[in-house]
Amino acid sequence: MIKLSYDVMEYRLQILDLTKNGDTIIELGCHIGNTTKILLDNFKDSKIISLDNSPEASKNMNKLSCDNLDFINADVRLHETLLEVFKKIQNCDILAIDLGGGYHPDTVFKVFYIWSSTFKPKHTIIRNRGILEFYNSADGSGEKYKSCEGYLDSYHDSGIPPQIKEFELWTPSLKSKQNL
């Protein structure tokens, strides 16, 4: 199942609703760990891999340190970040994506594409206003393309996607970071 939200409380409720104790969770955009803490409290036997590229995330996430939490301070748009996580786990039950509710929907969709096609989650929960607005506004042709999983059926067999070139064109800050 794929769930969309904009309100952060709704995002957390959706994750709580779909997660079972023992599930493997990848959380993209954990910030200072407010959702992570809820997950740790509710799913004691779950393995959680949380990622964020901001300095304030590192400071706060390191304080949450425990055996079932793995925090990675990295840019989730990068192929090397995807591979770092793939070395640890090859699939997940829950993929939660919150890069900021108003963050570019195109970037969030691409992040969803590369992470969900790699880890094939049962459920993906995305917090993003633009994607939600698009979903609520679009009127489809009625053709029956639909996935019951947390990834799209149309790229089910595509394997791990390579670094997406458009990230460099569409998000200038990524390019400057890579050149550092």
Ligand X SMILES: C[S@@+](CC[C@H](N)C(=O)[O-])C[C@H]1O[C@@H](n2cnc3c(N)ncnc32)[C@H](O)[C@@H]1O
Q: Does 35 bind ligand X (CB under 6 A)?
A: yes
Instruction: Using the structure block, give the residue that is written with the tokens 């990230």.
Output: 167
User: Least distance (Å) from ligand X to the CB of residue 59?
Assistant: 12
Q: Does 31 bind ligand X (CB under 6 A)?
A: yes
Q: Token pair for residue 145? A: 């393309």
Phi, psi (rounded to 5 degrees) for 166: -60, -25
Options 85-93, 94-102, 133-141, 151-159: segment touching ligand X (CB under 6 A): 94-102
Q: Does 84 bind ligand X (CB under 6 A)?
A: no
Q: Does 100 bind ligand X (CB under 6 A)?
A: yes
Question: How many CB atoms lie under 10 A from the CB of residue 56?
Answer: 10
Among 1, 16, 68, 75, binds ligand X (CB under 6 A): 75
The residue (of 59 and 156) whose beta carbon lies closer to ligand X is 59
The residue (of 104 and 120) whose beta carbon lies closer to ligand X is 104
Contact positions vs ligand X (CB under 6 A) = 8, 29-31, 34-35, 51-54, 57, 75-77, 98-100
